[in-house]
Amino acid sequence: MAGANSELVKYTSTADSEFLYYGHCKCINSVPATPDGKPTPGIITRTALQLADIPFLIVDAGSKIKPSIPYISFNVEPGGNIRTGAAVHFNDVKRLYDYGFMLGVQFAKTNDLIVVGESIAGGTTTALGVMIALGIDAKFKVSSSMPDNPHLLKNSVVSKAMEKSEIHYGDLKGEPFKAISLFGDPMMPSVAGIVSGAVTSGSKVILAGGTQMCAVVAILNSLRLPLYNISIGTTCYVAEDCFSNLVDLVKSISTDIPLYSCNLHLAESVKPGLHAFAKGYVKDGVGAGGISIATMLKSKGKINGTVLLKAIEKEYERLVEKFLIK
């Protein structure tokens, strides 16, 4: 429900994190969904995590409502409206990166593969803003949680933000932390830090998502960090979306970053409600695509897209019965 309803969006990431733990939410009386009832991709994430018995932890880097779960606090305010020119306090950007790095180092000690996902409302617009400032031609390439991708709206928001800060395309090529503080969000330095700490300590990382994870890669690249052992993992619904262009976007940032996508066969589901993902709604998020790939890897292919689909349908069925979603 990224950006669609300003009263509800502040609950999105919180509700998603609670859903992963409990299979229901504490902060709202339903499952996270778009205003027209499309359910959260957290359904996929939760199913995949359970199926392959993959442990997970939630990092809170700026949620407005704190989730009723044990979460790792990065102790930061929600990101600001980029049109005002103050997205994240500059000092917080560096600190969030450092906190992420510390955490990544710890995670790497007992995990050879770490998947990092996100749930943030309006995140593709801030991703666009940061990439433009870093000199990456991301216009019309970024993804959306809606089928009618509002590229013009996003471009206009970013243009206004850049005008206000008197920053032009590529001006902040070597200053990613400044780019984040002006046009980004608190997720970016946090995830960049986790990735950096993890790979420095010998772990591999899947950045689970599309556009927003491109922004993270662009930040790491701008910090001149070596981009080894890092890949992007998403669903085919993002990777093959004809209203955005993830493949070219990744290539334009770095040719060192493999992009993996998985087919979850949701178009073939016996549950019509799940077709939405394949029809351009939601598509990915809450790490769904990346975690699905990790599940396939961990099970050495025993859990494939078809096995996963059956389990997702079961989880969806449970939700339909419990919350009467469509």
Select from 48-56, 174-182, 223-231, 239-247 the region that touches a second copy (CB under 8 A).
48-56
DSSP letter (8 states) at residue 210: S
The count of residues interacting with a second copy (CB under 8 A) is: 26
CB 77 within 8 A of CB 185: no
Beta carbon of residue 237, minimum distance to a second copy (angstroms, whole number): 28
Restricted to residues 53-72, the positions that interact with a second copy (CB under 8 A) are 53-57, 59-60, 66, 68-72
By CB under 8 A, name the one of 25, 27, 51, 103 that touches a second copy.
103
Beta carbon of residue 196, minimum distance to a second copy (angstroms, whole number): 14
Residue type present at position 75: N
By CB under 8 A, name the one of 36, 37, 73, 170 that touches a second copy.
73
Nearer to a second copy, 102 or 153 (CB): 102
Q: Find where tokens 């994190």 sit.
A: 17
Select from 11-19, 73-81, 180-188, 284-292 the region that touches a second copy (CB under 8 A).
73-81
Using CA of residue 94, residue 45, residue 136, residue 133, what is the dihedral sign? negative
By CB under 8 A, name the one of 36, 37, 75, 317 that touches a second copy.
75
Restricted to residues 83-102, the positions that interact with a second copy (CB under 8 A) are 99-100, 102
Query: Is residue 204 helix, strand or coil?
Result: strand
Nearer to a second copy, 1 or 206 (CB): 206
By CB under 8 A, name the one of 109, 168, 275, 322 that touches a second copy.
109
Restricted to residues 204-223, the positions that interact with a second copy (CB under 8 A) are none
Beta carbon of residue 258, minimum distance to a second copy (angstroms, whole number): 24
Structure tokens at 208: 């689970």
CB 177 within 8 A of CB 189: yes
CA dihedral of 117, 61, 124, 65, whole degrees rounded to 10? 110
Residues 6+ apart with CB under 8 A from 312: 43, 44, 47, 264, 266, 269, 274
Structure tokens at 224: 């001149």
Residue 106 in contact with a second copy, rule: CB under 8 A: yes
Strand 113-116 relative to strand 59-60: parallel, antiparallel, unpaired? unpaired
In the chain the first and final C-alpha atoms are separated, in Å, by 16
By CB under 8 A, name the one of 97, 107, 177, 237 that touches a second copy.
107
Beta carbon of residue 110, minimum distance to a second copy (angstroms, whole number): 5
Residue 272 CB burial class (10 angstroms; 0-12, 13-18, ≥19)? exposed
- Which stretches of the chain bind a second copy, using CB under 8 A? 21, 53-57, 59-60, 66, 68-75, 99-100, 102-103, 106-107, 109-111
